[in-house]
Structures are given as C-alpha cells and as structure tokens.
Amino acid sequence: MSSRASTSNMFPIKVMNLSLEIDKKMLLNNLTCELKAEGTTVIMGPNGAGKSLFVRCLHGLSKPTNGKIHYGNLPVGEATRERQSMVFQSPKLLRRSVIENLRFVANLNKKNDQNLTQLLKKTDLSLLKDQQVSTLSGGEKQRLSLARALVSNPEILFLDEATSSLDPRSVFIIENLMVEIKLKNVKIILITHDVNQAKRIADDIIFMNNGKIRETGSANDFFINPQSDEAKAFLNGDLVI
C-alpha cells in the first residue's frame, strides 16, 4: 500500500535561493535545499542561525525577500498552509479552556469532535479538558499545542523547539506522539538544540549557521562524520562562529 506522503502532491519541498533581509541585515542568505516526503527532518544550529525564520518561511508565516519555496508544484501560501500545522516555541493558545482550543481548530477545519477525546488522551490532557489554559503548566500548554496541531490531520508538521525547557515527562509524551504520527506518514520538520533528541528522532539533518545552510544529509552521516567545522564544533559543544 502506498504511503500518504508518497501519494501527496506536496513533495518534494524545494527551497530555491531563499533570502530574507530585515533592517538591512541578511537573516537568511541564499538557502537552497530539497526535503523529501519520508522521515523526520531536524533543523539544527546555534542561536541566531536563522532556523525559526527558515521554518516560518516554509510555513508561509514570513515572506522571503528573494527566492521561492515549492511544495511539489504548489507555491507556498494559503493552499499549502491548510495542509500543514505548526507548534510554536512559546505556546500560542486561545484564552479559553483546553477543549475549546481544540474545538476552535476542529470548527475551522470542519472536522467533527470525535477524535478530540482521543487526542486529549494521547497528550495526557483528558483530566484537564475543561480547565482554562491560564492554569496549565508549560509542558501541558505545549502538549495542548501539539494536540491542536494534530486536529487538522496535517500532512506536514512543523515543531519550533517544541520541547525546549520542558520536563522529561512532557518531552517523552511529545516524542512518542511524534513517532506515532511519523508512522502515519506525516512529514515532521523539527527545530531542536538538543543533540540527543535529534539523534533519537532525525532521519535527515539540516545544519544552519549565520543564516546559511552549512550542511545537509542523513542523520547517521551527520552525527558520525560531520563535514563542516561549524557542525563539528556544535556537536562537540564548542563555540560556533
């Protein structure tokens, strides 16, 4: 049976000469790469490398100064965004209860409420479903963000440092869920600083520094034999210049 991703017309994702300049500062500098349908792509790099901006451009939240992004033959925009979801670094949640946050997305996507209970269970939020978001912990908020991202049944899921500064239990739940949705052939594009997490999850790596892609390739190759000096320094925990 052919997988969902391989039959989707959203792949490969082609990034061509992508640049983003803000206040005369080149934050993304001529990025070119191609992301395939299968597996989890992890974007790594030191702070200020341009990872979050790159993902924002991929999702269509930021408009690049130059260059193009194509999902198959579709240019990035509203049509591609409705088949994607994003979990932000700081949880972006409506000032409502847990279940109302999920219902909002279900209504937008004209989905029924049936799988919401299932998502709450998977993210271990069933007991908190009527609680206001303001009373949740950081980990619970991020798990809710992930549950909400999955309501629309996306083909591509972006996670921008979704597990940074979370407790081990929340990280465990989120990673397990990522493995589960990967098996359903959802393409995951994850930003992380956590080398161990990248080793556990990544199939491909994009390594960035100073707004440029320094290295791309399979996770095995990258972790065993990184090519660039910056990647070697990053993996060794040294200062990356």
Partner 1 sequence: MVSLTSLTIACFIGIPLGTILAIKRFYFRKTLLAIINSLMGLPPVLVGLIVYLYLSRSGPLGWLGILYSPTAMIIAQVILIAPIITALSNQIIEDLHEDYRDLFLSLNAQPLQAVIAYIYDSRYSLLTVILAGFGRAISEVGAVIIVGGNIDHLTRVMTTAIALETSKGNLTLALGLGIILLIISLCISLLAMWIKSFSKRYTYV
Which residues contact residue 17 at a Cβ distance below 8 angstroms, ignoring those fewer than 6 apart? 30, 31, 32, 66, 67, 68
Instruction: Choose which of 36, 70, 81, 193 interacts with partner 1 (CB under 8 A).
Output: 81
Instruction: Choose which of 82, 113, 167, 238 interacts with partner 1 (CB under 8 A).
Output: 82
Distance CA 65, CA 122 (A): 40
Q: How many residues bind partner 1 (CB under 8 A)?
A: 21
**What is the closest distance, in whole angstroms, from the C-beta atom of residue 78 to partner 1 in the complex?**
6
What track of x and - describes contact with partner 1 for positions 139 through 178 (by CB under 8 A)? -------------x--------------------------
Give the nearer residue to partner 1 in terms of CB position, either 22 or 94.
94
The total number of residues written for the chain in this structure: 241
- Which residue pairs from 124-132 have beta carbons closer than 8 angstroms and sit at least 24 positions apart in sequence? 124/173, 125/98, 128/98, 129/97, 129/98, 129/99, 130/97, 130/98, 130/99, 131/97, 131/98, 132/95, 132/96, 132/97
Distance CA 108, CA 166 (A): 29
CA of residue 83 relative to chain centroid, distance: 13
**Which residues within the stretch 42-71 sit at the binding site for partner 1 (CB under 8 A)?**
59-61
Strands ordered across the beta sheet of 25-35: 25-35, 13-22, 66-71, 74-75
**Which residues within the stretch 181-200 sit at the binding site for partner 1 (CB under 8 A)?**
none
Q: Note whether 96 binds partner 1 by CB under 8 A.
A: yes
**What is the closest distance, in whole angstroms, from the C-beta atom of residue 136 to partner 1 in the complex?**
9
Instruction: Choose which of 58, 86, 171, 177 interacts with partner 1 (CB under 8 A).
Output: 86
Stretch that binds partner 1, among 11-19, 25-33, 77-85, 185-193 (CB under 8 A): 77-85
**Which residues within the stretch 121-140 sit at the binding site for partner 1 (CB under 8 A)?**
132-134
Q: Note whether 235 binds partner 1 by CB under 8 A.
A: no
Q: Note whether 85 binds partner 1 by CB under 8 A.
A: yes
**What is the closest distance, in whole angstroms, from the C-beta atom of residue 57 to partner 1 in the complex?**
13
Which positions touch partner 1 (CB under 8 A)? 59-61, 78, 81-82, 85-86, 88, 92-96, 104-105, 108, 132-134, 152
